[in-house]
Amino acid sequence: MTATHCPYCALQCATSLVRGSGAAPVTVQPREFPTNRGGLCRKGWTAAEVLTVPDRLTAPLVRDAAGELVETTWEHALDVVAERITALQTAYGQDAVAVFGGGGLTNEKAYALGKFARVALRTANVDYNGRFCMSSAAAATNRSFGVDRGLPFPLTDLGGAGAILLVGSNLAETMPPAVAHLAGARDAGGLLVVDPRRTATAQLTEEAAGIHLQATPGSDLALVLALTHVVLQEGLADTAYLRERTDDPDALYRSTAAWWPERAERVTGVPAGVIRQAARVLAGAAPVHGGAGAFVLTGRGAEQHSKGTDTVTACINLALALGLPGRVGSGYGCITGQGNGQGGREHGQKADQLPGYRSIGVPAARAHVARVWGVEPESLPGPGKSAVELINALGTPDGPRALLVHGSNLLVSAPRLASVRERLASLDLLVVADVVPSETALLADVVFPVTQWAEEDGTMTSLEGRVLRRRAAITPPGNVRSDLAIFAGLASRLGCSASFPTDPAEVFEELRLASAGGIADYSGISWSRLDAGEALFWPVPAEDHPGTPRLFADRFGTPDGRARVITVEHRAVADDLRSDAPLYLVTGRLLQHYQSGAQTRRVVELAEAEPEVFAEIHPRVAAALGLRDGGLVRLRTARGSMVCAARVTGDVRPDTVFVPFHYGGAAAVNELTNDVLDPVSRMPEFKACAVELVAVAGAGFAEVPA
């Protein structure tokens, strides 16, 4: 029996893998752990099936002269990639090659990817799919608190709270075991959920007089400004906390003074009375009023907007007004999504970062990491392009001519897919490392088959900043190798003298040194401590340090230790409603699937439960279109169109259409989504754009004309 963690979301539920035989090399059993408390969701229970899917990649593939991907040896595949990289960089410069990582990679692989890009390739062009996930929350917490850790407290702290405000998070479907931690607030009538849909999480508010604030898509910022207005104007704020622990309390009053609930009602559609009630419930649970504790939590629904950083900032300001951050049993946090979304953004695969959450533009940070890597600081490239900007530059005259993708399925997960497909097709070289032939892998010139969760050792960092051990239980099939072996093999062929270990334990020891003294300091963490069962939350600056479960007790991570009050103002969705597109399109996740669906769509039980994409439509809209439940509807935005079955339901607002984003090909809703960027985080506006609906006659998806 091997103790490890689930391969999916950042909750990182603890599991045990029991060795089997034949078609089922392992079975999954839940394991008692603070985050999942012995529970698993449907995806976790079926995770072992991904290990034996029929189309598992087991040998390298190279596209031949006829345009077909054919099996080859590792030596040949690595030679082909190295030779083409060398030729392209000789002709066009170091930045002609780009690297794109993923939030599911272990800490060791994320670290090695960033090092490989900057030392072996010497390119500035490296970013990852976490830019599509947590980047707005990271940007907001960094500028307000000076530190980005999704939850700066253990998840178990939520259990004692009297009120929890969830802004744009559907935990009941995305992280079902986490719902147990909402029970205290739910039973107290203090569960407050902001979402344009009546999701499974929003339905929890109906069990004990909680509040569902069913706001217009893209209006969360206005709603939170109004909640803060009520807290401040009704004398519910923790004024002593604001005076002692923030830099400019007056700015908070000034910036929310005009957001009275009646004004917010016109923008959000949430009645003014409900806004006041929610603010009073949240404030009543705050420590300043003798409450049991209160939390403000954000998710992708609030963050995946061109104003996502400002929306999270408004949520932080609300938490500050109530004196929550740094208090035991209260606080602000971001519900990190991807399995290693936290660790993945800490150790160097992000365009502007070096290991330890250091900024690549800071000379001292560059000098420290360069010493660990055995290179000169001036040899390290500067900040590169963010994910969407990097994708848009591919194949252009001054952009990258080659792209190496590790742990990401861009042809499903990126916005405005027609443009993404065009840019990938324009490359001279596309290399994809994956476990299955994903939509992106099928477009590649070279495909590397790599290990997955139960076949590899390493570490992951959960949504709480808790560093966890991933342990190998089985041997990978065929000629599968780790991403670490790819980096080492290519670095050697490219003539790089720096060391690229293939043993993840050795890579972690190097990561410890590189992170030492950084914001995300792992230097005191060792595999032996993790294997001994210690719960280590970073920072852990020494081997005798117990870790830091809770941040900000005495000071924030800013130079003067005070939280920054950043004033923000509401603005409309970038692609707002118009006469020819009178509804909002929002996207999201389903209980049965995960991210781009490359894994879960291959699990029979999950695929049968939700086999096809659909659009949730309000009955009033369906009636106006003459559309029945299950009928076909065309969705059209300024970027593209798709056809799918309609699910007619009163769980969405009449101005809202919901489509899950887990499906590929003609079923990929990201063909329609907007790639306009948040000016701070560079997050694209996945979550809201104007859409036109047209009922379509026909019986099947494939039979509908374009």
Residue 153 lies in a domain: yes
- Cα–Cα distance for residue pair 57/435, rounded to 1 Å: 5
In a domain, 517, yes or no: yes
Q: Which pLDDT belongs to residue 698?
A: 60
Tell me the pLDDT band of 654, cut-offs 50, 70 and 90.
very high
Confidence band of 242 (pLDDT split at 50, 70, 90)? very high
Establish if 550 belongs to a structural domain.
no
408 and 435 belong to one structural domain: yes
Query: Which SS3 state, helix, strand or coil, does residue 187 take?
Result: helix
Same domain, 230 and 318: yes
**Bond from prior residue into 539 cis (ω within 30 degrees of 0):** yes
The confidence score (pLDDT) of residue 701 equals 39
Whole-number Å distance between alpha carbons of 43 and 65? 40
In a domain, 254, yes or no: yes
Question: Of 291, 316, 334, which residue sits at a domain end?
Answer: 334
Q: What is the mean pLDDT of residues 610-631?
A: 97
Looking at the DSSP bridge assignments, the partners of residue 27 are: 18
Residue 697 pLDDT = 80
Whether residue 652 has pLDDT greater than 60: yes
Task: Flag whether 575 is in a domain.
Answer: no
Segment holding 506, helix H or strand E: helix 504-515
Token pair in block for residue 107? 């800490």
Mean pLDDT of 310-325: 98
Residue that the structure tokens 């949240």 belong to: 282
The CATH number of the domain holding residue 421 is 3.40.50.740
Identify whether the C-beta of residue 6 lies closer than 8 Å to the C-beta of residue 47: yes
Q: For residues 2 and 17, give the distance between their C-alpha atoms in angstroms, rounded to a whole number.
A: 5
Residue 136 pLDDT more than 50?
yes
Alpha carbons 217 and 201: distance in angstroms, whole number: 17
* 313-336 mean pLDDT: 97
Instruction: Specify if 520 maps to a domain.
Output: yes
- Category of 235 on φ-ψ map: left (φ > 0), alpha (ψ -120 to 50) or beta: left
CATH of the domain at 214: 3.40.228.10
For residue 207, the model assigns a pLDDT of 87
Residues 165 and 104 in one domain: no
Q: CATH number of the domain at 47, please.
A: 2.20.25.90
φ, ψ of residue 493 to 5 degrees: the values are -70, -25
Please check whether residue 596 is in contact with residue 413, taking contact to mean a CB–CB distance below 8 angstroms: yes
**Residue 166 and residue 103 share a domain:** no
Q: Is the pLDDT of residue 40 over 80?
A: yes
Per residue in 510-550, pLDDT (tens digit) is 999 999 999 999 999 999 999 998 889 999 999 999 999 99
Mean pLDDT throughout 221-239? 98
471 belongs to a structural domain:
yes
3-state secondary structure of 530: helix
HSE (CB half, 13 Å, CA atoms) of 614?
Answer: 16
The three-state secondary structure class of 522 is coil
- Do residues 426 and 473 both lie within one domain? yes
> What's the Cα-to-Cα distance from 274 to each of 147, 213, 227, rounded to whole Å?
33, 8, 10
Q: Give dist(CA 412, CA 654) in Å, integer.
A: 27
Residue 350 has pLDDT above 90, yes or no: yes
What pLDDT does residue 9 have?
Answer: 95
What pLDDT sits at residue 133? 87
Residues 301/687, Cβ–Cβ less than 8 Å = yes
| pLDDT value at 699 more than 90 | no
Whole-Å CA distances, 273 to 355, 361, 432, 570 = 47, 48, 53, 20
User: Domain ends where: 513, 537, 561?
Assistant: 537
Range of the structural domain that residue 603 is part of: 583-703
Q: What is the pLDDT of residue 25?
A: 87
3 state DSSP class of 588: strand
Spatial contact of 338 and 104, defined as CB atoms under 8 Å apart = yes
Q: What is the pLDDT of residues 64-112, one digit of tens each?
A: 999 999 999 999 999 999 999 999 999 999 999 999 999 999 999 999 9
User: Do 118 and 221 lie in a common domain?
Assistant: no
Residue with tokens 């139960």: 454
pLDDT at 706 over 50: no
Same domain? 112 vs 162:
no
**pLDDT tens string 439-498:** 999 999 999 999 999 999 999 999 999 999 999 999 999 999 999 999 999 999 999 999
b/e burial code for range 493-514 (CB count within 10 A of at least 16 → b): bbebeeebbbebeebbebbbbb
Q: Is the pLDDT of residue 665 over 70?
A: yes
- Rg of the chain, C-alpha, whole Å: 24
- Residue keyed to tokens 């603890």: 14
- Give the separation between CA 197 and CA 590, rounded to whole angstroms: 13
Q: Specify the residue for token string 């560059």.
A: 366
Are 156 and 218 part of one and the same domain? yes
**For range 132-148, the mean pLDDT:** 95
Burial 631-652 (b: 16+ CB within 10 A, else e): bbbbbbbebbebbbebbbeebb
Output the domain CATH number for residue 646: 2.40.40.20
463 and 499 in one domain? yes
Residues 352-388 pLDDT 10s: 999 999 999 999 999 999 999 999 999 999 999 999 9
| Spatial contact of 303 and 136, defined as CB atoms under 8 Å apart | yes
Residue whose pair of structure tokens reads 């890579």 in the numeric block: 507
What mean pLDDT is reported for the chain? Answer: 96
Q: CA 546 to CA 369: how far, in whole Å?
A: 25
Q: How many domains does the chain have?
A: 4
Distances (CA, A) of 146 to 448, 481, 551: 38, 38, 11
Residue 702's pLDDT band (cuts 50, 70, 90): very low
Mean pLDDT of 681-686: 96
Tokens of 127: 């970013």
Q: What's the pLDDT score for residue 705? A: 31
Distance CA 142, CA 129 (A): 19
Give, as one character, the DSSP assignment of residue 158.
G
Q: Contact 315/298 with Cβ under 8 angstroms? A: yes
Is there a single domain that holds both residue 260 and residue 202?
Answer: yes
Residues 153, 124 within the same domain: no
* Position 140 pLDDT exceeds 80: yes
Q: Residues with Cβ < 8 Å from 346, sequence gap 6 or more?
A: 107, 110, 353, 355, 356, 357, 461, 515, 520, 538
Q: What are the backbone dihedrals phi and psi of residue 403, each rounded to the nearest 5 degrees, phi first?
A: -140, 130
676 falls within a domain:
yes
| Residue 704 confidence class, pLDDT cut points 50, 70, 90 | very low
382 in the same domain as 243: no
Average pLDDT value for residue range 237-254? 97
